[in-house]
Amino acid sequence: MLVSAREGINQTPESIQRLDELVSPLIKKGQSIAHIYANHAKEIKCSRRTLYSYIDQSVLATRNLDMRRRVKYKKCKKSTQCSIVNREFRKGRSYEDFQKLLKGNPSVPVVEMDTVEGKKGGSTEGF
């Protein structure tokens, strides 16, 4: 339900048309979105990021080709997360194993602890 509520465009067709009439000519003149926001922030009823998304989705008349710097830079690659191949360290450490241990040794005290691990070799300033 939350995903479907966030899909699509959250503006009326009239407001999109007004936004397009304001933004598209300025971008085609060579102005950046940051510059447009500096001068017309009160008239634009969405964020910069939303405006970039509208241009990517072809909601406005202007395209990415009309923005000089947008075309120059390559898209950032998302880093891939590699899964742990060797899972030997997890054997004997499941919740069922913990429950078996408690049933076998009822006098063992149980303690819970949270850990916060930072960057290895990083600075500890501010702590």
CA separation for the pair 62, 23 (Å, rounded): 8
pLDDT value, residue 71: 66
pLDDT value, residue 116: 82
Q: Is residue 99 part of a domain?
A: no
CA separation for the pair 71, 69 (Å, rounded): 5
Q: Is residue 61 part of a domain?
A: yes
Question: Considering the chain, what percentage of its residues have pLDDT values greater than 90?
Answer: 18
Question: Considering the chain, what percentage of its residues have pLDDT values greater than 70?
Answer: 88
pLDDT value, residue 39: 92
pLDDT band at residue 114, thresholds of 50, 70 and 90? confident
Give yes or no for residue 126 having a pLDDT over 60. no
Q: Is residue 45 part of a domain?
A: yes
Residue 60 contacts residue 19 (beta carbons within 8 Å):
yes
Each residue of 3-55: pLDDT tens digit? 777 777 778 889 989 999 999 999 888 888 889 988 998 888 888 888 888 88
Which of 73, 76, 10 shows the shortest CA–CA distance to 45?
10
Q: Is residue 28 part of a domain?
A: yes
Give yes or no for residue 127 having a pLDDT over 60. no
Q: Is residue 62 part of a domain?
A: yes
Whole domain around residue 13: which residue ranges?
Answer: 9-70
Total number of domains constituting the chain: 1
What is the CA angle 20-26-27, rounded to 5?
85
Q: Is residue 106 part of a domain?
A: no
Give yes or no for residue 99 having a pLDDT over 70. yes
CA distances from 109 to 22, 47, 103, 105, 114 (A): 68, 54, 12, 9, 17
- Higher-confidence residue: 8 or 111? 111
Residue 71 contacts residue 89 (beta carbons within 8 Å):
no
